[in-house]
Structure 1
Amino acid sequence: MAQMTMIEAIREAHDVAMEADERVVVFGEDVGFFGGVFRCTAGLQEKYGKSRCFDAPINESGIVGTAIGMAAFGLKPVIEIQFADYVYPAYDQIVSEAARLRHRSNGDFTCPIVIRMPTGGGIFGGQTHSQSPEAIFTHVSGLKVVIPSNPRDAKGLLLAAIEDPDPVIFLEPKRLYNGPFDGHHNKPIESWKKHPQGEVPEGKQIVPLGKAHIQKEGSDVTVLAYGTMVYVAEAAAAETGVDAEVIDLRTLMPLDLDTIVDSVKKTGRCVVVHEATRTSGFGAELMSLVQEACFYHLEAPMVRVTGWDTPYPHAQEWEYFPGPVRVGEALRKVMED
């Protein structure tokens, strides 16, 4: 297995899929000649030609609408929205067309598109390059929502998403793109220098959608996290000495509720961590599901650790993110109750 960054793993997933199936096409803003703003598609146009990897105008609604038409015709488009913050003009196409196509056609058509988007903060991108919009997609029936936390999962989940017959929102945490993440300090290690983060299997190795991963086993409290927050949760557990079981959800929809419930029934406590704003964030849904399934096993009230309920605060970016101090306080709180 090769050592890779998440960027390299995502690029390899594209390559494996495009080589295996000529129906897979890649397009979006700057993904062709330039190789994407983060270089996730670098070299694909040169290898597969301009008909299978090409640039699109700055028109997110047009990009998604074109992909839906391609999918209905029998292709498998993988499109990149340059930043998750840019997806809102395309939201109607995603919700009203892509998510509903299978059902409104009574199964005559499917919509096998993957919408890739860099998500979250940490690159000093300000309010329009740093948002975490996962919750608005998990609310939409017909969509699948994926957020990997490491290169191996990024490749395997992306390959699974490309093969899926339904639309998949594939969110890529920017702070994890170029290498290991220092959860203790809540900042990347030399953020723009590439450091391989983990081993990635060669070829077509799929990670199934809808299956969480127990990142760290423990017996005191279950911590539910995804993306960058997986490493923050691990760091908080190490710093506090709380024997936390950290679960990397990997796929938000479909959600692996069985793994979550088994863990909470074992530990009796639950902390939920995400970078997005608190109110109506995905953490609220997680807590509701745990409450419904594990009420008689809970030994303390559940706690959320999230971003603030405010427009993205560029000047206070690092205070906005849940860090090991805030997560550690939550761990201590549920252990004391």
Structure 2
Amino acid sequence: MTAIERITFSKAINAGLRRALETDPKVLLMGEDIGTLGGVFRVTDGLQKDFGADRVVDTPLAESGIVGTAIGLALRGYRSVLEIQFDGFIFPAFNQITTQLAKMSYRTRGRVNLPIVIRVPYGGGIGAVEHHSESPEALFAHTAGLRVISPASPADAFVMIQQAVASPDPVLFFEPKSRYWDKGDVDLSITITPDDDGLASGAVVPMDKARVARAGTDLTLAAYGASVSTALKAAETAAADGISIEVVDLRTISPLDAQTLIDSVRKTGRCVVVHEAPVFYGAGGEIAARVTEACFFHLQAPVLRVGGFHTPYPVNKIEKDYLPNLDRVLDAVDRAMTF
């Protein structure tokens, strides 16, 4: 039995966190202003009221302290979900995340797990400035021991936040803040726990599995997070010119489901990778290399990348020129199709 509701992306995350709090008393939420205020984007609205201040904890403005406290709690059996208020604020906790959180399981040969989720509202498109519009996912994907995921739809947001909480591994959960107000159909009957991941019943897609968001035959557009919506719009626009684009929503940046993407590119013969982060040393470089290695004899054009520029995030008046918009994606599609 399903319970489909049409809700926003932010409400979907809220509902997923509520479900995790309801089903596991060891789940805690921590972050700056997440309790009484409900978070800057109101993603945790109402949760402290319903579950109490000892499970939805307003913390000091100290990201390193938030992550360090969560590591200690994990050693005592708790599952903490941390909110980093804005993407650029994660850097004070970079040492805790990359030298402690990411390595504890490896260091102890699997005897110690740290099931911690770090929620990161990231990316541009809301008229903010640097430190509030960063896309630092490649820094964490480069660090072994961390799962790095970014849902693109309310349905995925609801399920994947539960999967992240249930995972025995530390998870960086990057939330495209420009999509918080997008609406979609969500099956609110789905419950994910550490003991029941929903995979056996086929109720959900694995957290580390990509999905084909739109089928096509001429070119593959690979994207994640906020860029999936842009890729779908590009596919719709290109269809009017007779170009059939397949859109692959990667969903997980690390580990990367390369096989789904490779299968798509072997069919279409062309690939364009889109993300908001700077192209220079971005996740798209790894994706392009994987595709080129596996699809060399299938490719009819070089793998192209569209993303941010190699500069600090600009002032909000010109962010539209920085972000990979519809025109820039379609330009890459045209260039790939001319080969």
TM-score by length of 2: 0.93
Match of 1:50 among 49, 53, 66: 53
Residue 119 of structure 2: aligned partner: 116
Amino acid paired to 2:122? T
Find the counterpart in structure 2 of residue 244 from structure 1. 245
Q: Secondary structure at the match of 1:87?
A: helix
Residue in 2 aligned with 1:190? none
Moved over 6 A (4+): none
SS of aligned partner of 1:158: helix
Mapping of 1:52-201 within 5 angstroms?
52-179=55-182, 196-201=183-188
Q: Report if aligned partners of 1:209, 1:254 keep a CA contact under 8 Å in 2.
A: no
The answer on whether the counterparts of 2:155 and 2:184 sit within 8 Å (CA) in structure 1 is: no
Q: 1:18 and 1:253 mapped to 2: Cα distance?
A: 26
Amino acid at match of 1:219: T
**Residues in 2 aligned to 1:5 and 1:336: alpha-carbon distance in whole angstroms:** 39
Deviations 1:82-103 (A, max 9, x none): 0111000100000000000111
**3-state SS of paired residue (1:35):** coil
**CA offset digits 1:11-68 (Å, max 9, x no partner):** 0111101110000000100011111111111111111111111100000000001111
SS at match of 2:297: helix
- 1:327 is matched by which residue type in structure 2? V
- Distance in 1 between the 2:110 and 2:332 partners? 46
Residue 102 of structure 1 contacts residue 108 of structure 1 at CA under 8 Å; is this kept in 2?
yes
Structure 2 residue corresponding to 1:335, chosen from 327, 334, 337? 337
The code of the aligned residue for 1:58 comes to L
CA contact (8 A) 1:273 1:322 kept: yes
**CA deviation string 1:95-128 (max 9, x = no partner):** 0000001111122210000000100011111112
CA distance in 2, matches of 1:277, 1:122: 15
Give how far 1:201 is off: 3.1
- Report the secondary structure of 1:197's partner residue: strand
| Structure 2: distance between partners of 1:274 and 1:152 | 21
Q: Distance in 2 between matches of 1:254 and 1:49?
A: 35
Normalising to structure 1: TM-score of the pair?
A: 0.93
Worse-superposed segment, 161-170 or 223-232? 223-232
Matched residue type, 1:73: R
C-alpha contact 2:159 2:190 (8 A) present in aligned 1: no
Contact 1:160–1:209 (Cα < 8 Å) also in 2: yes
1:274 shift after superposition: 0.6
2:201 aligned residue: none
Is the Cα contact below 8 Å between 1:9 and 1:200 reproduced in 2? no
Aligned-CA RMSD value: 1.1
1:38 pairs, out of 32, 38, 41, with 41
Residue from 323, 326, 329 that aligns with 2:328? 326
| Paired amino acid for 1:115 | I
Shift of 1:270: 0.6
Q: More deviation in 75-84 or 101-110?
A: 101-110
1:6 and 2:4 correspond: no
Given residue 305 of structure 1, which amino acid in structure 2 is its aligned partner? V
The one-letter amino acid of 1:201's match is: L
Q: Render the CA deviation track for 1:191-222: whole Å, top value 9, x for unaligned.
A: xxxxx333333241654211111010000011
Tell me which amino acid in the other structure corresponds to 1:204. Answer: T
Residue among 212, 221, 239 paired with 2:210: 212
| CA distance, structure 2, for counterparts of residue 285 and residue 72 of structure 1 | 33
C-alpha contact 1:268 1:300 (8 A) present in aligned 2: yes
Range with greater deviation from structure 2 (26-35 or 233-242):
233-242
* Deviation digits for residues 129-151 of structure 1 (CA, Å, limit 9, x no counterpart): 00111100100000000101111
- Hey, what's the Cα distance between the residues in 2 that align with 1:67 and 1:89? 15
User: Counterpart in 2 of 1:259?
Assistant: 260
Cα distance between partner residues in 1 of 2:226 and 2:136: 14
For this pair of structures, how many residues does the alignment match? Answer: 321
Gaps of 5+ in 1: 180-195
2:128 counterpart SS class:
coil
Residue matched to 2:282: 281
- Aligned residue in 1 for 2:199: none
Deviation of 1:240 after TM superposition, in Å, equals 2.6
Partner-residue secondary structure (3-state), 2:98: helix
Instruction: For 1:201 and 1:46, locate their aligned partners in 2 and report how far apart those are by CA, in whole Å.
Output: 21
